[in-house]
Structure 1
Amino acid sequence: MAARGEPLRQQVLDAAERLLRQGNAEFSMRELAADAGVSFATPFNQFGSKAAIMLALSARRIDTMAERFGGFTTNEDAAIGVLRATEIASAVMLEEPQVNRTVMGWIGMPGLSSAKVLDHSSALWALALGTGDGLAQARREQALRDLPRQLAFAFRGVLSFWTAGELSDEALAAEARDVARALLQGFLDDKET
């Protein structure tokens, strides 16, 4: 069952994405409401602020990543799952780099509470790790507890350099994969990642 107001929320988020695609990162809530075809108060009533809209757009990206990853879930080992999730997550970000850089810039602003983004992202990486097959048995429990959050931090770190323009679109997936490999290294059985 859809949450109350969900169609309006999605309508506002769709409009925000359209404005960002058009290069209007500085859109006002009035412009957003007009583009969404809703009253001026609706974006405020649904989200409270432009920052909250950007957090919701970030959640939308993570949901897309998880949905796409879910289509690949098999009994593969954790390292393969994490590397596959890294490729998928990078691809999602590169589908609309202008929009996604703007969203990342907003969620990285000081004072903006984004603990929900961290929790949401950690859930994606927990999905990627699965049951921990291929992880060293002695450290599996620790890995399943700690790695999702660490992988979320790592991917966000790579994205921050990409958002700032210090990392090219072409290098994003490779750098994200290398960071994920480094984090996995101490938790693997005696095999190569």
Structure 2
Amino acid sequence: MTSDKTSPSPRPSTRERVLDAAERLLASGHAGFSMRDLASEASLSFATPFNQFGSKGAIMLALSARRIDAMRERLNHAPSAGTAAASVLAAVDIAASVMLEAPSVNRVVMGSIGSPSDTPGAVSSRSRDLWSLALGEGAGLADATRDLALATLPDPLALAFRGALSFWTAGEYDDRALRRSARSAAAACLFGFVRADERRTLLATMADGHRP
């Protein structure tokens, strides 16, 4: 005989409660929330957000890390794309989808982490790790330059996606242009490292990124 009772969901940690509260405040249009506002929204003492993160800037960096973690998780659960280039383009689609799920919130987060900070975060290294995961073992890359590609491509891929995000954050790219432009930039990074039979696909992807 089986029980109909289900196990209760684990309670969020204090850090998660602070971040969840920050997400709610941003989603409701309160980008300029104070740490006191945040503590109240999270039903925590005024000192708790400071004790957990130290500053509002650190909270924004943690929200950025949440986005990258979500991208990694979805990429890990995505079906195999076949080649490294196809996997990278699939990762671009996943990353763009994560950002477009809450565009108003994510624009604020992007704007915040792009500002000078006394304590820089780890956005760059987290981003490189994401694109390294997408490249995998380099299936389909040209044999002569595969090792070089795996060692160097994560950096320009991270820069390319961050660049597309910066224009989207500033309102110069709409949601469709973000995805197309990010795919085009990634294809340009990959082009010199793929085999000849995959270059036609990448050329088409680059051309698509420049459609009006």
- Deviates most, 41-50 or 64-73: 64-73
TM-score (norm 1): 0.94
CA-atom RMSD in angstroms: 1.3
Deviations 1:6-47 (A, max 9, x none): 700000000000000000000000000000011111111110
What is residue 119 of structure 1 aligned with on the other side?
125
Matches within 5 A, 1:39-58: 39-58=45-64
Residue 21 of structure 1 aligns with an amino acid whose one-letter code is: A
What is residue 180 of structure 1 aligned with on the other side?
186
Per-residue deviation, 1:75: 6.7
Per-residue deviation, 1:111: 3.3
State the distance in 2 between where 1:185 and 1:115 align.
31
What is residue 3 of structure 1 aligned with on the other side?
none
The runs of 5 or more residues in structure 2 that have no matched partner are 1-11, 203-212
Deviations 1:89-141 (A, max 9, x none): 00110000000000000010023554511101111101100100111111111
Is the radius of gyration larger for structure 1 or structure 2? 2
SS at match of 2:122: helix
For the structure 1 residues 119 and 173, does the alpha-carbon distance in structure 2 shift closer, same or farther, using more than 3 Å as the test? same
State the distance in 2 between where 1:170 and 1:133 align.
29
Q: 1:37 aligns with which of 32, 43, 56?
A: 43
- Deviates most, 20-29 or 163-172: 163-172
Per-residue deviation, 1:166: 0.6
Per-residue deviation, 1:72: 1.4
Query: How many aligned positions are there?
Result: 188
Higher relative contact order (CA 8 A, sep 6+): 1
The runs of 5 or more residues in structure 1 that have no matched partner are 1-5
Residue 133 of structure 1 aligns with an amino acid whose one-letter code is: A
Report the identity percentage: 58
TM-score (norm 2): 0.86
What is residue 142 of structure 2 aligned with on the other side?
136
Matches within 5 A, 1:142-161: 142-161=148-167
- Contact 1:51 / 1:112 at 8 angstroms: preserved in 2? no
SS at match of 1:165: coil
What is residue 5 of structure 2 aligned with on the other side?
none
1:79 partnered with 2:112: no
